[in-house]
Amino acid sequence: MAGQDTFNDRLARINSGQTSTMTVPGGGLATPKQARKQVTSAIPKDSFGERLAYPMSFVWAFALGVFAYAFARYATFQIGTMGFTDMDLTSVVYDLLIAGVVVFALRMLFSLDSKELTMAQAVGIFAMYTFYHNFFFWFPDQLEILFDKDYVRQIWATAEPNSFHYRGDYFVF
């Protein structure tokens, strides 16, 4: 019966035109606007590091995508299945599949399971796909150690420096 009385009190208040009131933390009554203000001011403010963690997770996810594609290219070179001039659709698909597997493993390892972070990883893979050959012009000595001197020379002969590669064409920037 107490529930019916409360319901009737609410109906009477609505019909009389009074503003509604709410119980707020700490006791007392307030209008809904006052209650929201009091509740939100009671929430502790995050530290600078906690607020910085969310945007930095996008940078981290992008870097993981870059690493995944670089690892895929290194793996395909070490396996010996392709050279740089064989950038046909099949080899690109192999690289992207290996990069996808690496990204999936890194997602599980670092718990990056939101859609936004997955998209940042995909953008990192695409960026590395288009700009990967530039590293052989910028850091030839270091990459000769990792890869092969002939491989670096082959890239120099077939690619344009300071450009991006998309669908077999090089666009100089």
CA distances from residue 12 to 5, 7, 28, 65, 116 in whole angstroms, order as listed: 10, 9, 21, 61, 49
What are the backbone angles phi and psi of residue 7, rounded to the nearest 5°? -65, -45
At 137, the pLDDT band (50, 70, 90 cuts) reads very high
Over residues 43-61, mean pLDDT: 78
Give the Cα separation of 83 and 99 in Å (integer): 17
Give the Cα separation of 82 and 73 in Å (integer): 10
The whole-number pLDDT of residue 91 equals: 73
Question: What is the 8-class DSSP label of residue 158?
Answer: H
Three-state SS string over 9-68 comes to HHHHHHHHCCCCCEECCCCCEECHHHHHHHHHHHCCCCCHHHHHHHHHHHHHHHHHHHHH
Give the Cα separation of 35 and 41 in Å (integer): 10
Q: pTM for the full model?
A: 0.63
Mean pLDDT over each residue of the chain, to the nearest integer: 78
Q: Which of 6-10, 146-150, 167-171 has the lowest mean pLDDT?
A: 167-171
- CB within 8 A of 112, min separation 6: which ones? 57, 60, 61, 64, 106, 118, 121
85 vs 10: which has the higher pLDDT: 10
Cα-based torsion angle of the residue sequence 14, 21, 34, 47 in order, rounded to the nearest 10 degrees: -120
At 19, the pLDDT band (50, 70, 90 cuts) reads low
1 vs 107: which has the higher pLDDT: 107
Q: Which of 4-13, 35-44, 65-74, 78-87 has the lowest mean pLDDT?
A: 35-44
